[in-house]
Amino acid sequence: MHAGKGILAALTLSVLSAAVHAADPIVVYTARIDELIKPVFDAYTKETGVKIKFITDKEAPLMERIKAEGANTPADLLVTVDGGNLWQADQMGILQPVDSAVIKQNVPSQYRASNDSWAGLTLRARTIVYSPERVKEGELTTYEALADERWEGRLCLRTSKKVYNQSLTATMIEANGAEKTEQVLKGWVGNLTTDVFPDDTALIQAVDAGLCDVGIVNTYYFGRLLAQKPDLKAKLFWPNQDDRGVHVNLSGVGLTKHAPNAEAAIKLMEWMTGEEAQRLFAKINMEYPVNPAVKADETVAAWGEFKADSVPVEVTGKRQAEAIRMMDRVGWN
Ligand code: FE
User: Which run of H or E residues covers position 221?
Assistant: helix 219-228
The pLDDT, as a whole number, for residue 22 is 53
What is the Å distance from ligand 1's center to 199 Cα? 9
What is the Å distance from ligand 1's center to 304 Cα? 21
126 - beta bridge partners? 218, 247
What is the Å distance from ligand 1's center to 250 Cα? 10
Strand-pair category, 119-130 with 95-96: unpaired
What is the Å distance from ligand 1's center to 248 Cα? 13
What is the Å distance from ligand 1's center to 18 Cα? 41
What is the Å distance from ligand 1's center to 225 Cα? 13
What is the Å distance from ligand 1's center to 190 Cα? 26
What is the Å distance from ligand 1's center to 243 Cα? 26
What is the Å distance from ligand 1's center to 193 Cα? 23
Phi-psi region of 234 (alpha: psi -120 to 50; beta: other; left: phi over 0): beta
The pLDDT, as a whole number, for residue 1 is 41
The number of CA neighbours under 13 Å toward the Cβ of 333 is 9
What is the Å distance from ligand 1's center to 31 Cα? 10
pTM tops 0.85, yes or no: yes
CATH of domain 2-123+249-296: 3.40.190.10
What is the Å distance from ligand 1's center to 6 Cα? 57
What is the Å distance from ligand 1's center to 9 Cα? 53
The 10 Å Cβ neighbour count of residue 296 is: 19
What is the Å distance from ligand 1's center to 64 Cα? 20
What is the Å distance from ligand 1's center to 287 Cα? 10
Looking at the chain, the domain(s) classified CATH 3.40.190.10 span 2-123+249-296, 124-247+313-329
Between vectors from CA 220 to CA 168 and to CA 190, what angle results, nearest 5°? Answer: 40
Please identify, in words, the CATH class of the domain defined by 124-247+313-329: alpha beta
Low-confidence stretches of the chain (pLDDT < 70) are 1-22
Closest listed residue to residue 139, CA positions, set 149, 147, 150: 150
Residue 301: which residues within 8 A CB-CB, separation 6 or more? 295
What is the Å distance from ligand 1's center to 33 Cα? 10
What is the Å distance from ligand 1's center to 11 Cα? 51
How many residues does this entry show for the chain?
333
The 10 Å Cβ neighbour count of residue 152 is: 12
The pLDDT, as a whole number, for residue 4 is 47
